[in-house]
A and B are shown apart, each in its own frame.
Chain A
Amino acid sequence: SQTIHQWPATLVQPVGSPLSLECTVEGTSNPNLYWYRQAAGRGLQLLFYSVGIGQISSEVPQNLSASRPQDRQFILSSKKLLLSDSGFYLCAWSEGTGDGGNQPQHFGDGTRLSIL
């Protein structure tokens, strides 16, 4: 069966420090991968998605970047964190159908990021 792992579960970082959050998926090949941010108001905002290695689409302009160095690995990064980057970051995957298609997305358990 497929599983998705995110780490760390919680992270406290000072303003201006770098960030690297990692997500890996097991039990599937060529998945579509996604990074979301969930603010305290509950809604999920799509940040990045990827349909293949090295292919990243950004949904909103921001202080973050994403990379996909391997088929089942998705990394969220920042060179200098801002206070506004605080939030709950979720990684998700879906079956790879090239364009995403109508497939459910399955989520990891998230990383709670606090910027001080």
Chain B
Amino acid sequence: GESVGLHLPTLSVQEGDNSIINCAYSNSASDYFIWYKQESGKGPQFIIDIRSNMDKRQGQRVTVLLNKTVKHLSLQIAATQPGDSAVYFCAGIPYNQGGKLIFGQGTELSVKP
């Protein structure tokens, strides 16, 4: 079946350092991936997405890498700031699943000043 999962439930980094949040997926959850940021008491906020025909995509201070060989994707945040503290989710849409997102359990990022 399909599954998407994050490697670590919590991550603590120093302000100004780069953060890397990892996610693995099963064989069928492999068509399209999204990273979300969720702050306390709010809904998930779209950060960046990547399609399965790409290896890398960059946004403002964020980069998503997709390694289809090992079924792994990561979110890199450059120069992490206190405002980046939140729970980060990866989500995937399996092939032929009509856009249904499957979410990982989330990684809580804490930024130390």
Contact = CB atoms under 8 A, between A and B. Distances in A.
Nearest to A45: B103
A49 B51 contact: no
Contacts of B104: 43
Contact of B98 (A44, A99, A109, A110): A99
Contacts, number: 62
Per DSSP, chain A at the interface is loop
Given A46-B100, A99-B99, A105-B101, A110 B43 contact: yes
Contacts of B91: 44
A102 B92 CA distance: 10
A103 B99 contact: yes
Contact of B42 (A42, A43, A101, A110): A110
A23 B2 CA distance: 28
A42 B99 contact: no
B93 interface: yes
B55 to A, nearest CB: 17
A94 B41 CA distance: 22
Contacts of B45: 107
Nearest to A107: B43
B46 A44 contact: no
Contact of B105 (A43, A92, A97): A43
Interface residues of B, number: 25
A101 B100 CA distance: 9
A32 interface: yes
B31 interface: yes
Interface string A33-47: 000000001111010
A27 interface: no
Interface in B36-66: 36, 41-46, 49, 51
Nearest to B36: A107
B98 A100 contact: yes
A90 interface: yes
Interface of B: 31-32, 34, 36, 41-46, 49, 51, 87, 89, 91, 93, 97-101, 103-106
State the 5 A-B residue pairs at the shortest beta-carbon distance, nearest first.
A100-B99, A107-B43, A102-B32, A42-B106, A100-B98
